[in-house]
Amino acid sequence: MTCIRAAFKSALAACGFLLCVCLGGCGKNNIEEEVKNIKIGVTVYDQYDTFVSQLIDRFNIYASDKEAESGIAINVEVYNAADSQSTQNSQVETMIDDGCDVVCVNLVDRTEPTTIIDMAEKNDVPVIFFNRELVGEDLERWDKLYYVGAKAFESGIMEGEIAAEVFKTDADADRNKDGIFQYIVLEGEAGHQDAIVRTEYSVSTIVDKGVEVEKLNYAIANWNRAQAQTKMSQMLGEYGDKIELVLANNDDMALGAIDALKAAEIIPEKWPVIVGIDGTDVGLEAVKNKEMAGTVYNDKEGQAKAMLELAYELATGGSLNGLELEDGKYIRLPYEKVRAEDVDEYTHNK
């Protein structure tokens, strides 16, 4: 089991101090209360996933900020499940045994949350699932289960809009001038909500925008750059310059496609239009360089912040009222389209 400890310890926590906390409007009756030491356990399906690791970096930064702001020590422990659901189940057990107040779970297998839910309920430890969405019925199984993520269909629609706009405005996009956008799709893991929905909506949106499309092929590359490079190299071998558009379910796979084009020594003027999703640092860089026509920003900052605020309130027994939970359980952040002209806004401000 890989355990990446990101422990934030304040002087207060280290000493286990009692503090006078001014409650109820700071009147004369100061109430003496023990300062709470919050412990948040986080387990990710794969620590090498670019998007997830950047989200966790942000989570750690926000935890640190919140600790400074609140004066309450926030200890975050991050575990890597390394793509094994049984490893992840054991990690959650360890976190509960270690006294975590809240557990944040990026499920390995989004159809297998039962063991985790049962352990959490038995020990009364709330769970925030994130990024890999379990089915609604599972989230309904206990009232202290939450989900933080994004609206998957929105990202597909935006990716399709970017592709359609390029086809309509850039005469070179239709390489063979047949008026049809010949495309391939690089898909994330089979069964992942974002992979299924992004593929479906990106293509249907291009068509809705009045652009005729022809699917040449698709390949599952599991969100992974190296796998996408391999799959793209194979498709380049098969279809060559017939490929006019690469719809990648995420930026890492779009970058894998670019790696394949570079490895095949194809000059950029002859590249297909490539669109991704995420706006990871490397993805934004490729949009800036015009290697990718655009990406769709998957708001890792917003998701990390929402997770941290929710975890904090749950751990301190605070109010969830300010958190805008849909159905009392979901926080979904919106996506945003990013073209070369918008990219600085994301690289500088986020």
Strand order in the sheet with 145-150: 2-7, 73-80, 37-44, 102-105, 127-130, 145-150, 330-333
Q: Is there binding between residue 147 and ligand BGC (CB under 6 A)?
A: no
What are the beta bridge partners of residue 41?
77, 103
CB atoms within 10 A of CB 23: 11
According to DSSP, the β-strands at 2-7 and 18-21 are unpaired
Among 51, 181, 335, 346, binds ligand BGC (CB under 6 A): 51
Is 225 one of the binding residues for ligand BGC (CB under 6 A)?
no
The residues, ordered by sequence, that sit 6+ positions from 111 with a Cβ below 8 Å of its Cβ are: 134, 135, 191
* 112 closest CA partner among 140, 92, 89: 89
Nearer to ligand BGC, 138 or 278 (CB): 278
Axis-axis angle for helices 251-263, 50-70 (nearest 10): 140
In the complex with ligand BGC, the residue whose CB is nearer, 132 or 175, is 132
Q: Look at residues 108, 167, 115 and name the one whose alpha carbon lies nearest to residue 138.
A: 115
Q: Which stretch binds ligand BGC (CB under 6 A): 48-56, 86-94, 239-247, 287-295?
A: 48-56
Nearer to ligand BGC, 49 or 174 (CB): 49
Residues 39, 58, 66, 132: which binds ligand BGC (CB under 6 A)?
A: 132
Among residues 72 and 203, whose Cβ is nearest to ligand BGC? 203
Is there binding between residue 335 and ligand BGC (CB under 6 A)? no
CB closer to ligand BGC out of 173 and 253 = 253
**Nearest 5°: CA angle at 204, between 202 and 210?**
110
Q: Which is nearer to ligand BGC, 67 or 133 (CB)?
A: 133
CA–CA gap between residue 203 and residue 161 (Å, rounded): 9
CB under 6 A: which stretch of 49-57, 69-77, 213-221, 287-295 binds ligand BGC? 49-57
Nearer to ligand BGC, 154 or 194 (CB): 194
Contact set for ligand BGC, span 243-282 (CB under 6 A): 250, 277-278
- CB of 159 vs ligand BGC, minimal distance in Å: 11
Does 133 engage in binding with ligand BGC (CB under 6 A)? Answer: no
| Binding to ligand BGC, residues 274-333 (CB under 6 A) | 277-278, 298
How far apart CA 62 and CA 320 sit, in angstroms, is 18
* Backbone torsions φ then ψ of 296, nearest 5 degrees: -120, 120
Q: Which stretch binds ligand BGC (CB under 6 A): 25-33, 44-52, 121-129, 267-275?
A: 44-52
Among 37, 80, 131, 199, binds ligand BGC (CB under 6 A): 131
Longest dimension (CA), the chain: 80
Cα–Cα distance list, 216 to 184, 197, 255 (Å): 6, 19, 20
**Can residue 49 be called a binding residue for ligand BGC (CB under 6 A)?**
yes
Q: Does 52 bind ligand BGC (CB under 6 A)?
A: yes
From 153, 223, 335, 346, residue interacting with ligand BGC (rule: CB under 6 A): 223
Give the pairing of strands 245-248 and 212-220: unpaired
Question: Binding to ligand BGC (CB under 6 A): which residues in 182-201?
Answer: 192, 194
> What is the contact surface with ligand BGC in residues (CB under 6 A)?
49, 51-52, 131-132, 192, 194, 223, 250, 277-278, 298
